[in-house]
Amino acid sequence: MRRARISSVGGYVPPGVLTNDDLSKMVETNDKWIVERTGIRERHIADAHTATSDMAILAAQEALERRGIAANEIDAIILCTVTPDMQFPATACLVQERLGATKAWGFDLSAACSGFLYGLTTAAHLVAAGTHRYVLVVGADTMSRILDYQDRATCILFGDGAGAFLVEPANEGEDIGFIGHLNQIDGSGAESLCMPAGGSRLPSSADTVANRLHYVKQEGNQVFKFAVRKMQEVCEEVLVRNGFSGSDVKLLIPHQANRRIIMATAERLGLPLEQVIINLDKYGNTTAATIPLATRDAVCSGKLEKGDLVLFAAVGAGYTAGAVLWRWG
């Protein structure tokens, strides 16, 4: 089997910015309260004419341009999102057509904040199997479309954005690329973080709209406790499974939901702050886009270089959780 590597990254966030001070004029909150509890200072918000596919395309184009390949060379597109442009067709179809990826097949993958890691795991195995050369994995979410800006427990957390990885085979003999993964789900937490209405269980109606059931609902304390425990567990287990320890990790790139969750994980792994990427202060939680956006920041700042052992980790609604280990290059 061939070893898959991440050969390029791209990202996009819309220009509109919503600060904590802006939110304090909309709900009962303030900058100090938000920063102390989450670490978030501002988030980017898409305008009324921008959808998930629009951001996904811009992130994908940046990744392709950096690699220097044309869209018609892509074999598959995995579009990770919980905010598709519409229920169907899949947003991957819209991205494929507008990119000009004429040879690609693809699909949408819904696993909330863990979605990008699930997509990345899938891409690594498609490449390793020898059936695909170029797989584009995109994480994109327009969370502002499903936020209740009367609910301070949720509206302060999320922003909009997109990120993309290009996955392809490593050159023979190169010690870089995909090493291992651990992905999990725990459906017992399904009701702790969800959007209740709009599906087959509770179809859209005048009542669901009036009762504000088409917005994100979260049991904050329950989700926080699970995330702190599970993020640490999956990171430690994927390292042990593959013969590593926290001291071997050059960089931790976690899902950007809460600074306290990230710092607890880093402390458990024995990683100092300079070996952890945290950018949620600028973007908030962009759901499936957080890890590729954080990776792009790490590459651009020179914190992630060829040969580095990098650990990606996430926990999200479902519950979902995952950790993926790569040798960068």
Which residues are catalytically annotated? 113, 255, 285
In total, the chain counts a number of residues equal to 329
Strand partners, 325: 180, 311
**Residue of 197, 255, 261 whose CA lies nearest to 226:** 261
> How many Å apart are CA 107 and CA 51, to the nearest integer?
17
**Amino acid letter, residue 244:** F
Q: Is 179 helix (H, G, I), strand (E, B) or coil?
A: strand
The 10 Å CB-count burial string (b at 16+, else e) for 8-35 is: bbbbbbbeeebebeebbeeeebebeebe
Contacts of 78 (CB under 8 A, 6+ apart): 92, 106, 107, 109, 119, 122, 123, 135, 136, 137, 138
